[in-house]
A and B are shown apart, each in its own frame.
Chain A
Amino acid sequence: MSLSEEQVRNVARLARLGLDDDQIAEYAGELSNILDVVASLEQADTTDVEPMAHPLDLAARLRADEAVAVQSREDFQAIAPAVAEGVYLVPKVIE
């Protein structure tokens, strides 16, 4: 399975990874090698096998619907790259 640079560019876009052309070329080779290894899955007979999403096959546990104390917004915003007046700052989204 070989991935073209165009495919890698598309995957990088999906994953929001900013990569330059040299990186795209390198990753195209490396990702193709990885997909070659993974291709052995095709050979496995999985007829009537249920997919396993969780190692213990447990149902998700529900908690009581009760309000609990949460940490302050100040704690979380203290570690943000850019905040002002309680909101996170990002570049302008709407012109």
Chain B
Amino acid sequence: MSDERSIRQLAGDLAAKKLSAVELTDHFLKRIAAHDERLNTLISHSESTARERAAAIDAGTDAGTPLAGVPIAHKDIFCTRGVRTSCGSRMLDNFVAPYDATVVERLAAAGTVSLGKTNMDEFAMGSSNETSFYGAVRNPWHTDYVPGGSSGGSAAAVAAGLVPAATGSDTGGSIRQPAAFCGVTGIKPTYGRVSRYGMIAFASSLDQGGCFARSAEDCAAVLQAMAGFDERDSTSVERAVPDYSAALDAQGDDFLKGMKVGLPKEYFAEGLDDASRQVINAAIAEFEARGAEIVEITLPHTDLAVSTYYVLAPAEASSNLARFDGVRYGYRCDNPVDLEDLYTRSRGEGFGREVQRRIMVGAYVLSAGYYDAYYLKAQKTRRLIARDFSDAFDKVDLIAAPVTQAPAFKLGEKLDDPVSMYLNDVYTLPASLAGLPGMSVPAGFVDGLPVGLQLLAPWFEESRLLGAAHAYQQSTDWHSKRPAGFE
């Protein structure tokens, strides 16, 4: 049986010595041993260091920290000193970072015990977790289906009860989409809220770290430990972090009363699967029943999001991934004959197809003669998309929408068709381009596969997101459903 206690309960029971950190760590390590061969959620395992750390916590090392003894797993995009950080790529298969990412450091300082590193699409490029060098992750709700991506390992591990919480990163939907596909709660904070230091860069103006857990309450506890200014990240924002859990408690069940919730009509137009629409409508009815005022809004430039994103993100990626040169760390080809050969073969052999595709799209849109038509143009349409949201938030407090057009698809179904994979991100890309905080909250099922409700709030209003999701989770139990075979 998976441990059903919330993170707050676990932390309380650990602090009160009703539960030992070793016991709890062993519980989850056993579940990983029993189930992960089938799901492939972890790339690297840290059993022995996790047990040592748990024993030290039991001996009192982390007394007084908010999450002392709570197990966690980190997406393999976050650098961990002494544990391989592969980013899902052959390029970094041998890479052991000489330092910890700020997120890793802060969660360790908060008392968490890391059980391992979770599987992901290579360099976070993908929406199905099938581009990983370490093989696809399977969705615990139906193992013929994808878990979503790119943080698919983190989402599936939490869904299967292999760990109570896991970190993730979201560039175009890589937290919200896998959270929706796996039926867990996920939050992508405002750009700049969580430090990117030590989080391997994909598209630096979009990348943002966040987390997965079973409930909004659990996400609040984990995000609290991650968020906040970091002088080592020049895009980190100097702004106080509110007490998220206190915000949840303060208004509790009444959180949604009087809140104006906007439904962007573009997210409910053609393309949204009918059964998913019914699930989302039922969730919105619940918001209304709890006192929210529902209004229709428009985000008129939504249809530009896919093309804007697939110019800007590859452009930034082609620049960021130029650092992988086979010289200082990572994969190096055998017997290079000259420097050019060293670069081209190391990169030709070390990167997978999707990463190469995006690097080439990026190099193309940035190349002489095309810069204005693609890159500069996309930066302008990005502003139009962001303005849509600032206009909308003049009228509403919160936006509610589907996360995806349909539930999880089958493994292999879209792998050979990158464009159809890209179009799948249409509801998550706009908020990423605008840098807004967003969540995915379990809202029901279609044919046994989870459906997520997307919530978006104004910049830096993570408390509002978490509060709304928490209020919804007080009267619904979608977030506490467990996939068969993983109870």
Contact = CB atoms under 8 A, between A and B. Distances in A.
Q: Is B one of A's binding partners?
A: yes
Given A54-B205, A79-B98, A31 B344 contact: no
A71 B79 CA distance: 15
A4 to B, nearest CB: 12
B308 interface: yes
Contact of B383 (A7, A31, A52, A93): A52
Contact of B238 (A54, A61, A90): A61
A63 B382 CA distance: 29
Interface residues of A, number: 51
Given A31-B357, A56-B192, A50 B380 contact: yes
A80 B331 CA distance: 9
A51 B383 contact: yes
B25 to A, nearest CB: 28
Interface stretch (B69-77, B268-276, B358-366, B400-408): B358-366
| Interface size band for B | 35 or more
Interface string B304-345: 101110110000001000100111111010001111111111
Contacts of B310: 34, 37-38
A86 interface: no
Contacts of A53: 205, 379
Contacts of B349: 18
Interface stretch (B14-22, B47-55, B229-237, B477-485): B229-237
B393 to A, nearest CB: 14
Contacts of A38: 307, 310-311, 365, 374
B339 A31 contact: no
A43 to B, nearest CB: 9
Q: Most B CB atoms within 10 A — which of A30, A31, A75?
A: A30
Nearest to B351: A17
A39 B381 CA distance: 13
A14 B363 contact: yes
A90 to B, nearest CB: 6
Contacts of A54: 205, 235
Interface in B376-390: 376-384, 386
Contacts of B343: 16
Nearest to A89: B327
A15 B318 contact: yes
B379 A51 contact: yes
B412 interface: no
B193 to A, nearest CB: 10
B435 interface: yes
A71 B81 CA distance: 12
B361 A16 contact: no
Nearest to B366: A14
A55 B206 contact: yes
A8 B191 CA distance: 34
A67 interface: no
A44 B308 CA distance: 11
Contacts of A58: 192, 235, 237
B347 A18 contact: yes
Contacts of A75: 98
A51 to B, nearest CB: 3
A8 B360 contact: yes
Given A56-B192, A71-B98, A33 B419 contact: yes
12 contacts: A15-B362, A16-B340, A16-B344, A31-B360, A33-B419, A38-B374, A49-B380, A51-B382, A80-B328, A81-B329, A91-B339, A91-B342
Given A16-B344, A41-B304, 10 more contacts: A15-B360, A38-B374, A44-B384, A46-B384, A52-B382, A53-B379, A55-B434, A58-B237, A61-B238, A79-B96
Closest 6 CB pairs of A and B: A55-B435, A18-B348, A18-B344, A51-B379, A81-B332, A46-B380
